[in-house]
Amino acid sequence: MRIIPAIDIIEGKCVRLTKGNYSTQKTYNENPLEVAKAFEDNGITHLHLVDLDGAKSNKIVNYKILEEICSKTTLQVDFGGGLKTDGDLRIAFESGANQVTGGSIALKAPQRFEKWVKQYGAKKIILGADCNNRKIATSGWLETSSTDVIEFIDAYSKKGIEYVICTDISKDGMLAGTSNALYQEILETSKVKLIASGGVSKMEDLITLKEIGCEGAIVGKAFYEGRISLKQLRELC
């Protein structure tokens, strides 16, 4: 299982939110590159980079930070947040992203999202399936739809999607454990490479996700709050 640390960006700074609520913003480092290099120095190979400004404004915003991290580290970066147009996607890939994540666009403009998958290939486009009470949430989690997360993922799996990042918003930033039952249901329903996100609080959570069969696990607040150390991540990698 891949261990994928997260860097969330607001106004160029490395921050974390709780349950996606922007009013809970806590800044951990004003230099995201510094954080990325620390991951790289400890054997981490992948990074989940989220443009929270972009998610809120519905267009890519912090692509310069993406470009800096990709040009000054060897990390393979999956980038998400505000990718709505062909131009946004082009900027993300030109800035060095190895993969991009589309969530809101996959729900609201499925034909465009499906075109991206065909154009760039299923290994480059990740389906973002962020949910609240099993319903898909969009626009930086500011909106909740009536679409069931299992049905959403299964439908895209049948259309060729390989990678899915699923975040249970109720768990995000709470350091209270992961949504294991939900992830098991997804893996039993769809043949996707599932990347779990939200709720990781300790090393045992990561071990459980690996046992369930997740292809990857995103670690955010647990690292920034000192619950999981770089040494532990290095050893697990």
Rg over alpha carbons for the chain, rounded to the nearest Å, is: 16
Phi first, then psi, for residue 133 (nearest 5°) are: 55, 40
Tokens for 116?
Answer: 């991206």
CA 201 vs. chain centroid, Å, equals 17
Catalytic positions are 8, 130
User: What is the Cα–Cα distance from 113 to 125, expressed in whole angstroms?
Assistant: 9
Burial code (b: 16+ CB inside 10 Å, e: under 16) for 21-40 equals: eeeeeeebeeebbebbeebb
